[in-house]
Chain A
């Protein structure tokens, strides 16, 4: 897992099972929806951990547990060494200040009956120790300015703003208590394409300004790559592969990651002809009825008998353990092997360098 930097958040063996009951008067548990079924990861201070996966993989449930909106069935979430799942309500309130959330839907996440000033100022009412009363209005205006909105909008109501502006308001609310960690659950997926980039850039800039750590949850693999330092891929309640963005995108070793990456449409019509697509068969199994052994085996083209019997652990696969290749990262597959799936013109000459074109007004954001 995280090797160098100190972990600010350690998640261990996290489970969330929703019981399925039968009977009207005497409820009997007949099974469980295993939304999250054993998730481990670390988050280092100042880094962005991306979590990707398809709908129903449990990524949003993980987000809710991180900010204590859901109680885990078992497992621990340690913030600076302290397990926040077992805290008393009072101690929890203090911790909550440090872990804030940005929600997906900018239309339902802001109370329509409150002004923007009240929405962004509410954190101070709940935690009065953060800002004395007389200071709050100024702080709210400063926050509006920080997220790029006119501070004079403080008395407006959410329905007077567009989706992108509302998401900025949501981010300002998340920043109010000066948290160290922000959990963002699909923060741009409800926005228009041309506005997504604005919000992504804003989040990137805020991270360096306030030394925030992000847990960035999304289904869009391109956006996750753009913003993340490390990426975890979730499938049916578990992380199946985790590593640095280059390890995951350029050297994936888990077949699910490979399929996922190969399915992403690339905005390049010339890539159409020479792209290898891994088309998975079938659908994701129900989280109430998870396959034995490896949970991906029902859709995997590599699956063998062993996959049905033995649960693969999230660790560096044996074949890569002694190598020095970028494929040496945690991957929960018995038959892990490297496969390039992202069309790779930029692969050889280093994916880290963005193409530069000095004179083009489109490449460079306007300078003041």
Chain B
């Protein structure tokens, strides 16, 4: 029996000896729990706190899909930053006399129509793809979840206006929009393409964010915080955001893959990245006319693109499985 406690300083002492049976029984309940090593729900050893995030991480580390896809992505990011690590040549140094030639020592992937080394160009092409994917996703996620989250939280007129704006952007066909907007751009950097993707991509994320904020908002624990007198910002930051984040992260991861393939599509159509930028899309586009006599020119950049996109989508799937509370 514990000593009588005085947790409240206004003199309302808690006297365990006078509290009667229930508290004692409850204490025994606590002891019972202590004795059950699995805890009541069989989650981990007793005493070791595990949040849903750490549970998810625990899951991910054991998921082969996650391991493979993240290793590929890690490799991609490294060669995007330091392509020299695995490619010694210069992607822009071409020798027309070697145009369309196949694999030979020092040039495992052969040469393209301009006589540039396909291996070097494929390695250097990762940079543009990763840049476009990462920055477009960042932009889309920040803008989308900001607008979507606010619309979901405040509702009413805010929500009405934002939802209509979202609808307008949804109505723009991406390829057509790209052909129109990007054809006037002369810059050869990746930024106009990224800007275009953010412009047309944020409504998708905004819808997801809005939906998950509305779901989180309806939970009793948000009502409980409100009943305590919590401010809007506290409810939004402490209670809603952490619980609404999971679907946003999942969709963003999957979207990253699709932005990379969108970049390739736009470059293929001639409105995406422009030479001298090295990009898989540009290479696929120029290789497509030689597909009959020199398929290797198409195979390598297209293969790299497919593996990259697939890795991001697989990663997104693995993350979703790990975060899905229904499977818990």
Contact = CB atoms under 8 A, between A and B. Distances in A.
B14 A113 contact: no
A125 B231 CA distance: 11
A210 B224 CA distance: 21
A31 to B, nearest CB: 21
B22 A365 contact: yes
A178 interface: yes
Contacts of A105: 220
A333 to B, nearest CB: 35
B324 interface: no
B228 A96 contact: yes
Contacts of A162: 40-41
Contacts of A210: 12
A326 to B, nearest CB: 29
A166 to B, nearest CB: 10
A71 interface: no
Contacts of B8: 178
A139 interface: yes
Contacts of B290: none
A157 B227 contact: no
A122 B26 contact: no
B47 A146 contact: no
Contacts of A149: 26, 30
Contacts of B226: 69
B242 A201 contact: no
B50 interface: yes
Contacts of A100: 227-228
Contacts of A165: 29, 33, 40
Contacts of A115: 49, 51
A126 B228 contact: yes
Contacts of A164: 29
Contacts of B47: 152
Contact of B243 (A111, A119, A147, A205): A111
A142 B30 contact: no
B29 A148 contact: yes
A272 B35 CA distance: 43
B13 to A, nearest CB: 9
Contacts of A285: none
A109 B239 CA distance: 11
A150 B219 contact: no
Interface string B99-123: 0000000000000000000000000
Interface string B160-184: 0000000000000000000000000
- Most chain-A Cβ atoms within 10 A of its Cβ — which of B15, B23, B242, B328? B23
A109 B25 contact: no
A275 interface: no
Say which size band chain B's interface belongs to.
Answer: 35 or more
A190 B40 CA distance: 17
B223 A103 contact: yes
Interface in A79-128: 92-93, 96-97, 100-101, 103-105, 108-115, 119, 122-123, 125-127
Interface string B205-246: 000000000000001110111111111001000110011000
Contacts of A104: 220
A185 to B, nearest CB: 10
A205 B20 contact: yes
Contact of B224 (A103, A148, A156, A211): A103
A160 B39 contact: yes
B85 interface: no
B64 interface: no
Contacts of A204: 22
A111 B221 contact: yes
B243 A113 contact: yes
Contacts of A155: 49
B24 A205 contact: no
Contacts of B224: 101, 103, 109, 170, 173
B181 to A, nearest CB: 32
A367 interface: yes
Contacts of B187: none
The 7 closest A-B pairs by CB, nearest first: A148-B26, A365-B21, A142-B7, A201-B22, A109-B220, A162-B40, A93-B229
Given A96-B228, A160-B43, A160-B49, 6 more contacts: A100-B227, A108-B219, A113-B242, A122-B230, A139-B7, A148-B22
Interface of B: 1-2, 5, 7-8, 10, 12, 14-15, 17-31, 33-34, 39-41, 43-44, 47, 49-53, 219-221, 223-231, 234, 238-239, 242-243, 325, 328
